[in-house]
Structures are given as structure tokens and as C-alpha cells.
Amino acid sequence: MSKKKIFDNAKVTKLMEEYAHHKKDVKLRDRIIRLTMPLISAAISKKRYYRNRDDLRQECVVKLLYALPKYDPSRGKAFAFLWTTICNTCNTQDQRLTRNDLSLSSDEDVMKEAETNGHEAFDTPENRHILNTISASITTAFDSFDVLDENRKLHKRACNKIKKFIVNGELFYNRDLVIRKLRKLGLDRKVVQFYVDRSLVLVRQRLLEAKDNVLALSVRKTGTTVSSDTNSGAL
């Protein structure tokens, strides 16, 4: 009996060719990302980046979200494009994550501050707004996933649980426990891992947007102008 392929190049190539003409189709984009997840895991294992596995997986998903609209079907199949993007991201991000200046002491300082402030750190209008934005984004993203009708209730329960895990912080500091709790709903481990990774990516995107909004507000208040050279380097 032949071993099942972890990645169907022909199928994903066809989907990416379709996406090249329909770049606003979020459902199609997320389907491509989901089918590409085994490639991300394979790249991490091949290069033995076990220490930063979870962070690298999320970084690769973020990178692919930006890279997919740039795919040109005339220049080759999906595998070459995706594998190159994933491997380059793994190499770059693993170096960043293991730099000497990313010391444990800074992480310990953050943990001490969190323990001191407790949940009060989240109880501000600004943070509540960000959490509400993240919650809405999670719901929208989950609604775009391909789900069979008989699994829709289970899918919705998973979405609601993940939103709770974001608010109480478990998604960030106890990811293994979150995965076990979602598995108890009856979800396949690969599906759960995809939900968790996609949620973390969405959180990161919304936080970056919030940071950009704060910077933009600061510029307006101080009257500082941003040069055209700075703007040209933006994504």
C-alpha cells in the first residue's frame, strides 16, 4: 500500500492559479494555507528547528499570507514557490529567535510584571477594544473555513473556546493545555493545531495594526511628518 502524500502539488497549484485571479477570496486563501501546513512541519523537521517549532510555524503562516498574492502561475508549480518561502522564513526567523540578545531575563521581567498586575493589565478601554477586535476577527476567520454541515456546531464551539482562551491568556502561556481541551471536543489533532496557529496569527496581525494606529495617532498629535522614504519601505 502506497504511503499517502503529505502535500498534493497538483491540487494546490490549481488552487493557487485560481487564487491568482481571485485574491479577495479569503476562503480559498485559507484552504491553501491549510493544505500547506504539512510542508511547514516538514521544513521545520528537516532543518531540525525543534526549539522554536511553534513560533516558526506561525511566522511561516504570516509570511505565506503576504506571499500568496504574489504567486505567478507562469513561473512554476506551487511546491517550489511555497517551499522556498517557508525555508527562507524558517532560516531567518530561527536566527532571530535564537539571538543572544533575546535573553531569558527579559522574559522573566515580563512574567513578573504580569503576575504583579494580574488581570487589571487587561482592564482598560484600549485593551478591551483590541480584545473585541481580535474576537471579531477570529469569528470571521472561522466562518471562512471549509466545514461540513454536520461539523458546524463543533466548529462553532471550538471558535468560542479559543476566544475564551485568548481573553484568559491560556492560548499564549499554556498552548498544550488548550490543544488538549480542544481535542476533548472531538476534533482531529491536525485540525486543532491549524485552529490554534491561525488564531495566533490573527492575534499578531491585530496587535500590529493596533501598534500602527497608536503610532499614527502620535504622529498626528505631535505634527511629525513621515518621509516618503520611510513609507516606501512599508508592506
Q: How many domains does the chain have?
A: 2
Instruction: Indicate which CATH number applies to the domain containing 72.
Output: 1.10.1740
Q: pLDDT: is 119 or 39 the higher one? A: 39
* Whether residue 160 is found in the same domain as residue 87: no
- 46: which DSSP letter? H
Per-residue pLDDT at 37 exceeds 60: yes
Which of 137, 143, 156 minimizes the C-alpha distance to 201?
137
* Residue 154 within a domain: yes
* Residue 227 within a domain: no
For residue 87, the number of C-alpha atoms closer than 13 Å in the C-beta half-sphere is 10
Looking at 65, 97, 129, the residue that finishes a domain is 97
Assign 26 a pLDDT band (cuts: 50, 70, 90): confident
121-150 pLDDT, tens per residue?
A: 445 555 666 677 777 777 777 777 766 566
Q: Which residue type sits at 62?
A: V
* Whether residue 83 is found in the same domain as residue 127: no
* Whether residue 71 is found in the same domain as residue 160: no
Range of the domain at 183: 119-222
Per-residue pLDDT at 202 exceeds 60: yes
